[in-house]
């Protein structure tokens, strides 16, 4: 029976494609292997249901397709069967939801020892900021943005002066250190997206959003924008380099702080401008 | 086990539904153009939706040309690509699927299936279509205005949607919002009609629990749409005010092209909440009519009563209600308060239960049926596969933490195309093959139909199933070009090219279908009034196509539910809803 066979082949073909697909997730680079595990659990459960439903359907088509003299059963409902199917589905759903919620709890619970890094999106480039020696990021406001202050840091904030500002450069992170990535945008929505990190979050003008992670292996990773942000969305790229401790500090030494980047007269000018408005 | 009375002894209400005074057209214009007859309005809706849908289909070809063969087609630039994806999505979701299911199928089937002469408010029903047509024309006009249509993505997220870094920021976005506002006004007129007609104009004996599931699906979807569209309406008005008058509902302080803008204090997330408060129910506004219709297709062509009718009705209602408290699962990575994730993941996965029940009941209806593999049945089977596939991948995206890596990738694109693109379109096509004989009096050509089914079903599956794996790999959506990215192997580009070739093939195979529609209108085999030997009222009309007022002198009286197929002891394998029990006993007597 050709139709039944084709239906069955769709299910079998899908499973084979899944097994032999050369397209699979990138090697993970952070602690979020839990997310991959949850996806795997979900694949097992949904894969089983998919094959079971299609196989049953194909069998019905094979066994009960119209022949001369066949007559269908009359069978309006079967409370017991419907009840058991509902309960079974509920169990399957719980088996996916429970680990998902546990991992979500980890995802939204930032460890106390995470260091902060700021990523700022604008059409269509990335800027990064690290806290300086004081370990704190200074405040910022889009109204402070000027040619010599592209991240809009607050000149009056002492914490901002030693912040390391990286414009049009690559971000370096230290392997094994948990990091809370603070996300900010000055124009439209963006999304800081590194496939190997698994974690991602939108950047919303007017808000500071975040996620956290611990890089677990060194390497160079592509940063893409994952939230449509206008004409050059697809070209908004940067790189994140995860270093060993020594290389990381060597890199950090070369970076300029906000105070080094902004000459004194610029501070006066910015104050004048914001005062004028 | 059998506790739905199919004898039809009980349940003819004493109160007679008063017959209505119909508006009678006096000229060709009022009969065929400014018609108040729901059947004509249905066809007007369907033709308009199909026409604009074909535009969206062509846009998808252009997108696939660019994605499959980047750099080859110099006439597509990055701005146009964004305009294509935006218009494709918006047209398909709202102007095609919503309009076709509710305005098209709803108008044609509701009065016939509930045994009414027409919609309750025929004049408003006519206005509904003309406002819809105006909305479509305004939408189409954006292709010709300076700057072209908006390229903000069909979600139209501000601030991007109204700022100058996005194509169509001039006229495109303004007309888009205006068109949506018109669409909602038009829909509201039609929607109130459908709801009141189902509740007030059912014929004698047509209790709610005797309604065909098609009517339940369309009815529930309409109620949902009446509750959900206002959120989109206010969002559109507010965004329009932000764009035109410089208000800041959705606009915080921000920099536009290097300059501090005039905006300040608004919230981009507010728009997303409003949009998805509409947008998620919208998924089910498209899905529920499809659920209802496919139930009737399966039952009729398997010659078997739908399994678990009451559970099916409650599942429709439960899905409709639950769909209003899951919207923020579209916003897990939007930056909203992270603790919301627990709630929305839980509600979203709970929806899987009534949805799964519907799937079980469809396949259990096939069990021990007498399955006629007609074209409508094939499309119903295709629907089950694509819907199960797309529904199951929804369990990935609904489970908050799993969504984090997958959101905004091609996995999402594959998921929603499978579940609310391919699956409902399977039902639309199956339904057209099913009801075309009632609308025209002729059958569609079966050979062309089977060719159309296999190319469409297998092709669509080949397009969207592998696409999930691009998303797993991490390929982002809404990208004009993937460019240099070390994590994307060259094989992914080959897969993209393959998908594009299949997509073009499936697209062109729809021309066979359009040809079939036109050809069969003149050359199709005459169908008679009830070619599928179906039980529901629309097949029992005195004339085919049904005349003005649907029924002859008297309205039909309903004695039984819609699924009396293969009743033991009955001579025929179906008993129409309006067949009195006495007549059935006579048949039994004759048979024994």
pLDDT at A263: 67
Provide the pLDDT for residue B12: 52
pLDDT in tens, A176-190: 999 999 999 999 999
Residue B3, pLDDT > 60, answer no
State the average pLDDT for chain B. Answer: 92
Q: In Å, how far is B275's CA from the nearest CA of chain A?
A: 15
| pLDDT tier for residue B582 given thresholds of 50, 70 and 90 | low
Provide the chain B residues 247-266 that lie in CB contact (below 8 A) with chain A: 252-257, 260, 266
Q: Which of B401, B426, B568 to mutate to test the interface with A (most CBs of A within 10 A)?
A: B401
Reply yes or no on whether the pLDDT at A264 is more than 80.
no
Q: Which of A24, A78, A200 sits opposite B404 (nearest CB)?
A: A200
Work out the minimum CA distance from B266 to partner chain A, whole angstroms: 8
Chain A contact set for B484 (CB, 8 A): 237
- Closest Cα of chain A to B409: distance in Å? 8
Question: H or E stretch including A165?
Answer: strand A164-167
Of the candidates B32, B183, B189, which has an alpha carbon nearest to the alpha carbon of residue B125?
B189
- Decide if pLDDT at B4 tops 60: no
How far apart CA B157 and CA A56 sit, in angstroms, is 43
- Average pLDDT on B264-274 reads 95
What confidence tens digit (pLDDT) does each residue in A72-101 have?
999 888 999 999 999 999 999 999 999 999
Tell me the C-alpha distance between B427 and B307, whole Å: 19
How much is the average pLDDT of B141-156? 95
Non-local CB neighbours of A192 within 8 Å, separated by 6+ positions = A119, A121, A126, A181, A183, A200, A201, A203, A223, A225, A226
Confidence (pLDDT) at B520: 96
B71 and A CB contact within 8 Å:
no
* A187-204: pLDDT as tens digits: 999 999 999 999 999 999
Q: Do B356 and A14 touch (CB under 8 A)?
A: no
CA A7/CA B560 separation, integer angstroms: 35
What is the per-residue pLDDT across B172-204, written as a single tens digit (0 to 9) for each?
A: 999 999 999 999 999 999 999 999 999 999 999
Predicted confidence at residue A94, as pLDDT, reads: 94
Residues above pLDDT 90, as percent of chain B: 88
Q: Are A181 and A119 in contact (CB under 8 A)?
A: yes
Residue pair B273/B329 in contact (Cβ under 8 Å)? The answer is: no
Yes or no, beta carbons of A57 and B166 under 8 Å apart: no
The predicted model gives A159-163 an average pLDDT of 89
User: Where do we find the tokens 């997206």?
Assistant: A193
Question: Is A57's CB within 8 Å of B481's CB?
Answer: no
Higher pLDDT, B569 or B156: B156
Domain with CATH 2.60.40.420 in chain A: 115-276
- Which chain B residue has its CA at the smallest distance from A67's CA? B370
Number of Cβ pairs < 8 A linking chain A and chain B: 336
Beta-carbon separation of A74 and B2 below 8 A = yes
Among chain B residues, the shortest Cα distance to A36 is held by B402
Q: What residues contact A56, with CB distance under 8 A and at least 6 apart?
A: B363
Q: Which of B151, B311, B349 minimises the CB distance to A77?
A: B311
Parallel/antiparallel/unpaired status of strands A115-122 and B255-256: unpaired
Chain A residues with CB under 8 Å of B312 CB are none
Sorted by sequence, the CB contacts under 8 Å of residue A102 that are 6+ apart come out as none
pLDDT at res. B19: 66
| pLDDT(A146) > 90 | no
pLDDT exceeds 50 at position B60: yes
Nearest beta carbon to residue B402 from set A100, A145, A200? A100
Tokens of A21: 């697909």
d(CA B543, nearest CA chain A) in Å: 29
Q: Locate the chain B residue with the closest alpha carbon to A27.
A: B487
Q: Do A200 and B255 touch (CB under 8 A)?
A: no
Mean pLDDT of B401-414: 96
- Out of A14, A56, A226, the one facing B408 most closely (by C-beta) is A226
pLDDT reported for residue B5: 44
Structural fold of domain A115-276 = Immunoglobulin-like (2.60.40)
Name the residue of chain B whose CA is nearest to A42's CA. Answer: B396
- Residue B303 banded pLDDT, cuts 50, 70, 90: very high
Q: B203 to chain A, minimum CA–CA distance in Å?
A: 24
Comparing CB atoms, the residue among B353, B363, B407 nearest residue A93 is: B353
The whole-number pLDDT of residue A269 equals 47
Residues A30-56 have pLDDT tens digits of 999 999 999 999 999 999 999 999 999
Q: Is residue A260 scored above 60 in pLDDT? A: yes
pLDDT digits (tens, 9 = 90+) for B547-578: 989 998 889 999 999 999 999 988 889 999 99
Task: Supply the mean pLDDT for chain A.
Answer: 91
- The answer to whether the CB atoms of A199 and B404 lie below 8 A apart is yes
Structure tokens, B531: 């070619």
**Residues in Cβ contact with B241 at an 8 Å cutoff, skipping those fewer than 6 apart:** B247, B249
The shortest C-alpha distance from A217 to chain B (Å) reads 16
Whether the ω angle into residue A192 lies within 30 degrees of 0, i.e. cis, is no
Q: Is A57 in contact with B363 (Cβ distance < 8 A)?
A: yes
* CATH class for the domain made up of B28-253+261-591: mainly alpha
Tell me what pLDDT residue B590 has.
45
Q: A262 pLDDT band (50/70/90 cuts)?
A: confident
Contact B289, B101 (CB under 8 A): yes
Alpha carbon of B544: minimum distance to chain A alpha carbons (Å) = 27
- Chain A residues within an 8 Å CB radius of B151: 231
- Per-position DSSP letters for B276-307, written without gaps between them: HHHHHHHHHHHHHHHHHHHHHHHHHHTTSPPT
Pick from A67, A102, A114: which is nearest to A210 by CA?
A114
pLDDT of residue B526: 94
What is the rounded CA–CA span in Å between residue B578 and residue B581?
9
pLDDT above 70 (res A227): yes
Chain B partners within 8 Å of A35 (Cβ):
401-402, 404-405
Give the DSSP H or E segment for A200.
Answer: strand A200-203
Q: What pLDDT sits at residue B257?
A: 85
Task: Please classify residue A268 by burial: count the beta carbons closer than 10 Å to its beta carbon, then call 0-12 exposed, 13-18 middle and 19+ buried.
Answer: exposed
- The answer to whether the pTM exceeds 0.95 is no
Does B490 contact A at CB distance below 8 Å? no
* Partners of residue A274 in chain B, C-beta under 8 Å: none
Which of B82, B335, B357 comes nearest A207 by C-beta? Answer: B335
Q: Is B269 on the interface with A (CB under 8 A)?
A: yes
């Amino acid at each position: 029976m050709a139709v039944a066979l084709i239906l069955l082949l769709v299910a079998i073909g899908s499973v084979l494609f899944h097994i032999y697909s050369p397209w699979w997730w990138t090697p993970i680079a952070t602690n979020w292997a839990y997310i991959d595990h949850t996806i795997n659990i979900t694949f097992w459960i949904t894969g089983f249901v998919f094959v079971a439903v299609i196989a049953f359907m194909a069998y019905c088509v094979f066994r009960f397709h119209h022949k001369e003299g066949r007559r269908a059963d009359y069978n309006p409902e079967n409370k017991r069967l419907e009840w058991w199917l509902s309960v079974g589905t509920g169990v399957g759903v719980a088996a996916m939801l429970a680990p998902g919620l546990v991992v979500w709890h980890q995802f939204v619970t930032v460890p106390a020892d995470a260091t902060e890094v700021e990523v700022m999106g604008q059409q269509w480039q990335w800027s990064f900021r690290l806290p300086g020696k004081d370990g704190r990021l200074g405040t910022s406001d889009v109204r402070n943005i000027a040619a010599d202050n592209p991240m809009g840091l607050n000149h009056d904030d002492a914490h901002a002066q030693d912040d390391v500002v990286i414009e049009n450069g690559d971000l370096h992170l230290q392997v094994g250190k948990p990091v809370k990535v603070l996300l900010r945008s000055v124009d439209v929505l963006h999304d800081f997206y590194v496939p190997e990190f698994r974690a991602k979050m939108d950047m919303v003008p007017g808000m500071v959003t975040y996620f956290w992670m611990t890089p677990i292996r060194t390497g160079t990773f592509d940063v893409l924008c994952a939230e449509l942000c206008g004409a050059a969305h697809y070209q908004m790229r940067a790189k994140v380099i995860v270093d060993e401790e020594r290389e990381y500090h060597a890199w950090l030494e070369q970076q300029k702080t906000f105070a080094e980047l902004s000459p004194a007269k610029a501070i006066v000018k910015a104050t004048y401008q914001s005062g004028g408005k | 086990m059998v506790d739905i009375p199919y004898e039809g002894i009980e349940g003819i209400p004493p109160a007679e539904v008063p017959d209505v005074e119909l508006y009678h057209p006096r000229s060709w214009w009022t009969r065929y153009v400014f018609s108040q007859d729901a059947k004509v309005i249905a066809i007007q809706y369907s033709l308009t939706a199909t026409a604009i849908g074909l535009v969206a289909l062509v846009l998808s070809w252009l997108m696939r040309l660019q994605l499959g063969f980047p750099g080859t087609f110099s006439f597509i630039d990055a701005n146009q690509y964004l305009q294509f994806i935006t218009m494709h999505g918006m047209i398909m979701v709202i102007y095609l699927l919503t309009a076709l299911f509710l305005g098209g199928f709803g108008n044609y089937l509701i009065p016939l299936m509930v045994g009414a002469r027409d919609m309750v408010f025929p004049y408003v029903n006519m206005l509904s279509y003309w406002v819809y047509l105006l909305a479509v024309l305004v939408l189409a006009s954006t292709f010709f205005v300076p700057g072209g249509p908006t390229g903000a993505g069909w979600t139209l997220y501000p601030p991007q949607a109204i700022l100058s870094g996005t194509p169509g920021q001039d006229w495109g976005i303004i007309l888009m919002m205006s068109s949506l506002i018109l669409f909602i006004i038009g829909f509201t007129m039609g929607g109130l009609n459908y709801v009141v007609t189902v509740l007030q104009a059912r014929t004698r004996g047509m209790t709610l629990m005797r309604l065909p599931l098609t009517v339940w699906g369309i009815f529930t979807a309409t109620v949902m749409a009446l509750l959900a569209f206002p959120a989109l309406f206010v969002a559109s008005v507010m965004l329009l005010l932000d764009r035109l008058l410089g208000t800041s509902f959705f606009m915080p302080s921000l920099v536009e092209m290097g300059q501090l803008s005039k905006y300040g204090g608004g919230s981009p997330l507010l728009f997303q909440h409003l949009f998805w408060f509409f947008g998620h129910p919208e998924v089910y506004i498209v899905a529920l009519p499809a659920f209802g219709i496919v139930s009737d297709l399966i039952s009729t062509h398997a010659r078997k009563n739908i399994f678990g009718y009451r559970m099916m009705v409650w599942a429709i209602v439960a899905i409709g209600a639950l769909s209003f408290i899951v919207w923020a699962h579209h916003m897990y990575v939007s930056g909203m308060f992270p603790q919301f994730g627990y709630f929305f993941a839980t509600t979203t996965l709970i929806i899987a239960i009534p949805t799964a029940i519907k799937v079980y009941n469809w396949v259990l209806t096939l069990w021990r049926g007498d399955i006629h593999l007609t074209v409508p049945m094939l499309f119903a089977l295709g629907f089950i596969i694509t819907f199960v596939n797309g529904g199951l991948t929804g369990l990935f995206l609904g489970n908050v933490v799993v969504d984090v890596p997958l959101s905004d990738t091609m996995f999402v694109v594959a998921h929603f195309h499978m579940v609310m693109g391919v699956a409902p379109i399977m039902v639309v096509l199956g339904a057209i093959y099913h009801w075309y004989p009632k609308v025209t009096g002729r059958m569609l050509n079966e050979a062309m139909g089977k060719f159309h089914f296999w190319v469409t079903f297998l092709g669509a599956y080949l397009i969207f199933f592998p696409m999930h794996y691009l998303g797993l790999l991490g390929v982002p959506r809404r990208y004009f070009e993937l460019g240099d990215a070390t994590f994307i192997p060259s094989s992914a580009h080959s897969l993209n090219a393959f998908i594009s070739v299949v997509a073009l093939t499936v697209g062109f195979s729809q021309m066979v279908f359009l040809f079939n529609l036109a050809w069969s209108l003149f050359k199709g085999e005459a169908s008679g009034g009830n070619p599928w030997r179906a039980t529901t009222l629309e097949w029992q009309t005195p004339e085919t196509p049904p005349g003005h007022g649907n029924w002859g002198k008297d309205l039909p009286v309903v004695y039984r539910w819609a699924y009396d197929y293969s009743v033991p002891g009955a001579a025929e394998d179906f008993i129409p809803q309006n067949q009195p029990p006495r007549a059935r006993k006579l048949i039994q007597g004759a048979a024994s």
